[in-house]
Amino acid sequence: MSPTQWDFPVELCCRPMAFVTLTGLDVVYNAVHRAVWDAFCANRRADRVPISFKVLPGDHEYPKCRPKRTSYEWYIPKGILKTGWMNKHLNLVPALVVVFYELDWDEPQWKEKQSECATRVEIVRQSLQGRNTKVAVVLIQKKTPLPPGEDVTASERAAALCNACELSGKSLFVLPHTDHLVGYIIRLENAFYEHAQTYYYTEIRRVKSHKEFLNKTTHQLLFVRHQFKIAFFSELKQDTQNALKNYRTAYNLVHELRAHETNILEIKTMAGFINYKICRLCFQHNTPLDAIAQFRKHIDLCKKKIGSAELSFEHAAWMSKQFQAFGDLFDEAIKLGLTAIQTQNPGFYYQQAAYYAQERKQLAKSLCNHEASVTYPNPDPLETQTGVLDFYGQRSWRQGILSFDLSDPEKEKVGVLAIQLKERSVVHSEMIITLLSNAVAQFKKYKCPRMKSHLMVQMGEEYYYAKDYTKALKLLDYVMCDYRSEGWWTLLTSILTTALKCSYLMAQLKDYITYSLELLGRASTLKDDQKSRIEKNLINVLMNESPDPEPDCDVLAVKTAQKLWSDRISLAGSNVFTIGVQDFVPFVQCKAKFHAPSFHVDVPVRFDIYLKADCPHPIRFSKLCVSFNNQITSVDLVLGHETGRCVVLNWQGGGGDAASSQEALQASRSFKRRPRLPDNELHWDSIVIQASTMIISRVPNISVHLRHDPPALTNEMYCLVVTVESHEKTQIRDVKLTAGLKPGQDANLTQKTHMSLHGTELCDESYPALLTDIPVGDLHPGEKLEKMLYVRCGTVGSRMFLVYVSYLINTTIEDKEIVCKCHKDETVTIETVFPFDVAVKFVSTKFEHLERVYADIPFLLMTDLLSASPWALTIVSSELQLAPSMTPVDQLESQVDKVVLQTGESASECFCLRCPSVGNVEGGVATGHYIISWKRTSAMGNVPVISTVITLPHVIVENIPLHVNADLPSFGRVRESLPVKYHLQNKTNLVQDVEISVEPSDAFMFSGLKQIRLRILPGTEQEMLYNFYPLMAGYQQLPSLNVNLLRFPHFTNQLLRRFIPTSIFVKPQGRLVDDTSIAAA
C-alpha cells in the first residue's frame, strides 16, 4: 500500500542520527575514494556511532539559512511545524561537512596544494553561511605517518594548513591510505561524532535562546514548535532522556493551544506525532508501562476532538492510525525482547485500530454518499503550489490562516466536498482486514482463542462487505464450530446469518442448505418470521427452485446470484446432498431407542425412532432409513425427492447433534419440573438415546442340581452328582455339560484341581481343571439325567466350581422355526480341608521329650494322627520310610491298620529308632516319611485308597562322651535284694578319667562301690554292679549315681538322668503263708 494521508512521515518514524556530509570524494572513478566511502558505509552495526553519511560534491548548495530574526514582536507564526523541517535536519543540513583532500606532508608543490585545499574549505563555508555547521578536513595520504612529534615538517605544515583554512587543529585529520583503513575510519568517525554532538548542542542552545522573546498570546504555536525542535535535536544528539523530557513538555503545550474546528486537525496531527515519539522513546528506555500510560492519556485527550462533523471519518482514520502505530511500536519492542501478557499485548491496539477503521468506513458511507452528478471540484482545492502542505495538519485551501472564522465559506465547502469525494475511493475493507489479521496473529500468540475467533468473524464480515464471499465463508465456517461447541447461540446465529448470505450470493447449494437447516433449528435465536422465510426458501431449493434473496444484500450481488441460481436449476448433476448432523444443530432432532437394554433370541427386537422438528412450519420427509449392525449405526432422514433436490440428514449412532451433550448437561442440572403430559405423550428431554441392545440367549427351562458331601478332603476323589431335568415342552437335543473349576480364579488353583468322570482311579496332573462339552445326549420333556463327576483338590481352601448345561431346542417365533441354543449354569463353592492332622515327636526311652537325640543311643518316634474330617475315615495302613541316616531298633510294622477314626479321634504309633553318629549336621538329620493310606469309611470298595505322605521333621543329633545305661528289674520288693548293673560306655577316642559316686537314699540300703575313680579306654565299657536293698514300698527314689568326667566338665548328672532311671516301684514284702492260704482258698 502506498502511504496515505494518515501514515506518519518516514522522518518521524526513523531513528534520528547525526547527519555528516563527505565532500571531495570521487566514489565513481577513484578506487581509493571508493574504498574510503565503503569503509564508512559498510558494516554499520550497533557498535559504530550513529551517523548518517552522505557523499556530496564540494560545491554542493546547502539549504539557505534565513536571516536571523532580531525581534519576535511582529512575528506571527503560521503553523506549528513545517512539513520539511525534520527532513531538513535529517538529510539536508549537516552537522559537519568533511572535506577530503589528497595531500602528503612531503608534497613537492605544497604551497599550491595548500591553497587549493583552503579554497575548497572556503567554498563549503560560503554555502553554509549563517549555519553553525562544523567543517573538518581529512588529508588522504599515501605514506604512513610517523609518530606525532617526530616529523617536524608534518607539524609545521599541519599548522600552516590549519591557518590557511581557518581550522582548529582538532578539525584536521590525516587518513593514511594503508592496510588499516577500517581502523582509521572508525577513529575518524568517532571524531566526527563529537563534532556533530557539539553542533546539535549549539542548535539546542540556539532554539532555547528564542524563548525569551516569545509571548503567550501570539506565539503559542512557537512554544510547541521550539519544544519539538529541542527534543528532535536532542534525539539527533542521541540524548534520548532529554529528548523524552522535551517531547513531554511539547505534548502538554500542544494541548494548551486554543482548539477550534479550523485547527483541530493540526493540533491532533502534532499531538499524534509527539505522542508517537514519546511512546517510541519509552519503549526504547524499556519502560513500556510509561508508553502505555502516555498512549492512554493521548487517546483520552483526543478521542472527543472530532473536528468538523462533515469530515468525522477523518477523526476515525486518525484514531485508527494512532492505535495501529502504537501496536507497531509495541510489537517491535516485543521483537527486541519485551515480554507482553494476555491482557496487555499489541493485539488490543490493532483491534482498536480495526474498530476505528470500521467506524471510518461507516462514517464515510453516510457522509460521502453524494449522487453521481456531484463532480470533483475544479480547480482541485487540495492541490497546493508545491504539491505539499507548508505545515503539518493544515487545510490546503487555507494554509497559514490562523483565524477561527471562515473567511471564505464557499471555498471551505468545496474543500470539504473534495475530501469527501476522495474518501469514497478508499478501500476501507482492505485496511480493516489487514488490521484485524494483525490482531488475530497477536491474540493467537497470547492465548486468546475466543478473541481470535471474534476477530475472525469480523474479518469474515469485512470480506462479505468487500464482496469476497469465498473468503468470508471460509473464515466464518472456520470459527462457527467454536461458538457452537461452547453454546453461544446468539453469536452463532449472527455468524450463520452472514454465512447464509454468502452462500446465497454464491449459490452454494450445500452450504445454503446446511446453514438454513441450522438457522431453523433450536440453536438459532432468529425470530419466527425470519425462520418462516428461511424455511420457505429451503423448501423452494428442495423443489429445485431459486430461493428469495437474503435481506440487506448488495443489489448488484443479488442480481449476479439470481443468475447463478437459475443456472443451478438447469444444470444436471448430483442433486443428493448427504449432510452429517453431528457437527451442527439442525432443525430436526432424532433419538433412536431400543425398548430394552437386552432382548432374548426368541423375542422380536423393538425400537422407536423419535423425531422432533423445530422449524415453524410443518415439513414433509420422504424417507427414513435405519442402519444396523449390532447396534444402530446411523439414521438417515430424507428431505425432498430425487426428482428435485434431496437432502439426506445423517445421524451417526442413535441421534444427537452438536448441541445434544450440552443440553443433556443443562437438563441434568435443572431444577425445573416438567409438566405432566397425557399418557401417550413424552417429554422430548426425557427420551434417552439407546442405540444398542444386547441380544441374549433364550431363557432355559431346565433345572440343574448338584449333590455332594462337603468339605472335600485333600487329594481325595471328591464326588459331585449333577442332576439335569428338562421342563421344556419339546425334546431338547445335544445336551452338553461343562463342569469344573470356574475360570477366572487364582491360577495356582488350576494346577491343583483336576476333574475326571471316573472315580475308580486317581487322577494325576494330566487331568484338566475344567471338563468341557461332555455330551450327555437328548432329553425328553420331564426326563432327568444324572452324571457323576469327580474332582481332586491338591490344596486346601475354597474353590468355585461351575456346572454349565447347554442344549438345543427348536422353537417357532412369528411362524418361523428357529433353533435356539439355551444354557443354564450353576456355581458352587467347595471347601477343601486336610483329612487329619499328624503330630510327630521324639522322646527318650524314658518317654521324656527330646529336643535332640544322641548319637547311637536309641530313642522313640511317636506319631499322632488326629482326624479333622467331619466324616469317618478308615486308615487302611501306615508306613514309616526311614531316611538312610536312621536305623530301626526293632520291626517297623504299622500299628494302626484298619483303624476307623471318627471326627476328633486320634491314632498314635511309636517306633524305636537309632541314629548313628554323623558328626555335626547343620539343621539336623532327615528322619524320613510317614505314609498314611486312607479313604472315607463310607466310600465304596472300588474307590481308590489315598496315600498321604507326611515328611517327618529333621532332628538334631548330638555326640556324648559317655553313655550310661542301667540293667535293673522292672520293680523291686521290700527287703529283697535288687541288683542293678550300670554300663558306662566311652563314646570317644580318648581314655576317660571317670569319678563315680553313689549318693544314698532313705529308701534303700546298698552295697557296691560308693566312690571310685577309674579309667575307661576308648570304645570300651565298664560295668558297675550294685546291690540295692529297698526299705520302703511305693514309688521310690533310687540312690543316685553321679558321674564326673574330668575331660568333659560339661557332662552333667542332669544329662545322665535322661539315660538311667531315677526311681523304681517297690512292692511291699510278700507273705508266703498268705500266698498259700489264698492258693488254698
For residue 724, state whether it binds other proteins (rule: CB under 8 A). no
Q: Which is nearer to other proteins, 293 or 576 (CB)?
A: 293
- We find the least distance from the C-beta atom of residue 330 to other proteins, in angstroms, to be 15
Orientation of helix 449-465 relative to helix 346-367, angle to 10°? 20
Q: Which is nearer to other proteins, 493 or 986 (CB)?
A: 493
The binder of other proteins chosen from 241, 252, 342, 622 (CB under 8 A) = 342
Of 491, 690, 448, 487, nearest to 593 by C-alpha is: 690
- What is each CA distance from 106 to 36, 143, 156, 157, 165, in whole angstroms? 22, 9, 11, 9, 19
User: Residue 269 to residues 8, 11, 236, 243: CA-CA distances in angstroms?
Assistant: 9, 15, 22, 19
Q: Which three cell numbers stand for residue 454?
A: 471474534
Neighbouring CB atoms inside 10 A of 470's CB total 11
Tell me, residue by residue from 149 to 188, as one string, x for binding to other proteins by CB under 8 A and - for no binding: ----------------------------------------
- Sole binder of other proteins in the list 486, 548, 642, 746 (CB under 8 A): 486
Q: Which amino acid is at 119?
A: T
Phi, psi of 139 (to 5 degrees): -90, 120
- State which of residues 322, 352, 863, 1001 lies at the interface with other proteins (CB under 8 A): 352
Q: How far is the CB of 190 from other proteins (least distance, A)?
A: 47
Residue span 903-942 as binding mask against other proteins, x where in contact by CB under 8 A, dash where not = ----------------------------------------
Between 433 and 809, CB nearer to other proteins = 433
Q: Which residues lie below 8 Å from residue 297, measured CB to CB, with a gap of 6+?
A: none
Closest CB to other proteins among residues 299, 1055: 299
DSSP 852: S
Which residue in 355, 392, 512, 584 binds other proteins (CB under 8 A)? 355
C-alpha torsion sign, points 235, 240, 246, 252:
positive
CB of 272: closest distance to other proteins in angstroms?
A: 17
**Are the C-beta atoms of 330 and 397 separated by less than 8 Å?**
no
**Cβ distance to other proteins smaller for residue 369 or 666:** 666
| Residue span binding other proteins (CB under 8 A) among the ranges 483-491, 694-702, 801-809, 879-887 | 483-491
Furthest CA-CA distance within the chain: 189
Question: Which of 833, 864, 838 lies closest to 936, judged by CA?
Answer: 833
Least distance between other proteins and beta carbon 620 (Å): 33
Specify the residue, 439 or 749, whose C-beta has the smaller distance to other proteins.
439
First to last CA, the chain: 157
Nearest to 537 by CA among 550, 547, 552: 547
Q: How many residues sit in the footprint of other proteins (CB under 8 A)?
A: 25
Could you say which DSSP state residue 45 is in?
-
Nearer to other proteins, 321 or 963 (CB): 321
Smallest separation, CB 666 to other proteins (Å)? 8
Question: Residue 259 Cβ, how far from other proteins at the closest point, in Å?
Answer: 22
Cβ distance to other proteins smaller for residue 451 or 717: 451
**Which one, 532 or 662, has the nearer CB to other proteins?**
662
Shortest Å distance, C-beta 414 to other proteins: 35
Binding region for other proteins (CB under 8 A) out of 31-39, 484-492, 755-763, 794-802:
484-492
Tell me the per-residue interface mask from 443 to 462 with other proteins, x by CB under 8 A, - otherwise: x---xxxxx--x--x-----
Nearest by Cα to 601 from 340, 413, 816:
816
User: 1064 phi and psi, to 5 degrees?
Assistant: -150, 150
CB of 303 to other proteins, least distance (A): 8
Site for other proteins in 294-323 (CB under 8 A): 299
Helix (H) or strand (E) holding 1078: helix 1072-1080
What residues from 606 to 665 belong to the interface with other proteins (CB under 8 A)?
A: 662, 665
- Residue 447 or 563: which CB sits closer to other proteins? 447
Closest separation in Å from C-beta 686 to other proteins = 22
242/97 Cα distance (integer angstroms): 26
Phi-psi bin for 545: left (phi > 0), alpha (psi -120 to 50), beta? Answer: beta
Rounded Cα distance between 17 and 240, Å, is 12
470 binds other proteins (CB under 8 A): no
- Judged by beta carbon, residue 395 or residue 454, the one nearer other proteins is 454
Residues 257-286 that bind other proteins (CB under 8 A): none
- Residue placing its CB nearer to other proteins in the complex, 200 or 355: 355
By C-beta, is 352 or 508 nearer to other proteins?
352
**Distance from C-alpha of 267 to C-alpha of 274, rounded to nearest angstrom:** 11
Eight-state DSSP code of residue 216: T
Contact, 55 vs 21, CB < 8 A? yes
Cβ distance to other proteins smaller for residue 486 or 831: 486
Distance CA 200, CA 194 (A): 10
Using the rule CB under 8 A, is 841 a contact of other proteins? no
Cis before residue 449, ω within 30 degrees of 0?
no
CA dist., res. 682 & res. 684, Å (int): 6
Length of the chain: 1081
Which of residues 346 and 381 has its CB atom nearest to other proteins in the complex? 346
Q: Which of 308, 437, 494, 906 binds other proteins (CB under 8 A)?
A: 494
Instruction: Tell me the one-letter amino acid at 874.
Output: T
941: Cα within 13 Å, side-chain hemisphere: 0
Shorter beta-carbon distance to other proteins: residue 484 or 754: 484
- Shortest distance, position 448 Cβ to other proteins, whole Å: 4
Which of residues 447 and 852 has its CB atom nearest to other proteins in the complex? 447
36: number of Cβ within 10 Å: 24
- With binding defined as CB under 8 A, does residue 362 bind other proteins? no
Q: Do 223 and 253 form a contact (C-beta atoms < 8 A)?
A: yes
Taking CB under 8 A as the rule, does residue 487 contact other proteins? yes
Distance CA 177, CA 192 (A): 19
Q: How far is the CB of 299 from other proteins (least distance, A)?
A: 8
Only one residue has cell 491338591, namely 794
586, 513 contact by CB (below 8 A): no
Q: Would you count residue 496 as binding other proteins (CB under 8 A)?
A: no
Tell me the closest approach of the beta carbon of residue 551 to other proteins, in angstroms.
17
Preceding peptide of 678 cis, ω within 30°: no
Nearer to other proteins, 301 or 648 (CB): 301
Span near other proteins by CB under 8 A; candidates 33-41, 129-137, 342-350, 950-958: 342-350
- Of 178, 252, 362, 490, the one binding other proteins (CB under 8 A) is 490
By CB under 8 A, name the one of 109, 217, 339, 343 that touches other proteins: 343
Q: Least separation, in Å, of the C-beta of 248 and other proteins?
A: 23
The grid coordinates listed for 411 are 471555498
Q: Kindly state whether residue 488 participates in binding other proteins, applying the rule CB under 8 A.
A: yes
Cα–Cα distance, 374 to 685 (Å, whole number)? 63
Q: What is the 3-state secondary structure (H, E, C) of 418-453?
A: HHHHHHHCCCHHHHHHHHHHHHHHHHHHCCCHHHHH
Minimum distance of other proteins from residue 203's CB (angstroms): 40
- Axis crossing angle, helix 312-335 with helix 428-445, rounded to the nearest 10: 30
Q: Which residues contribute to the site for other proteins (CB under 8 A)?
A: 299, 342-344, 348, 352, 355, 443, 447-451, 454, 457, 483, 486-488, 490-491, 494, 662, 665-666
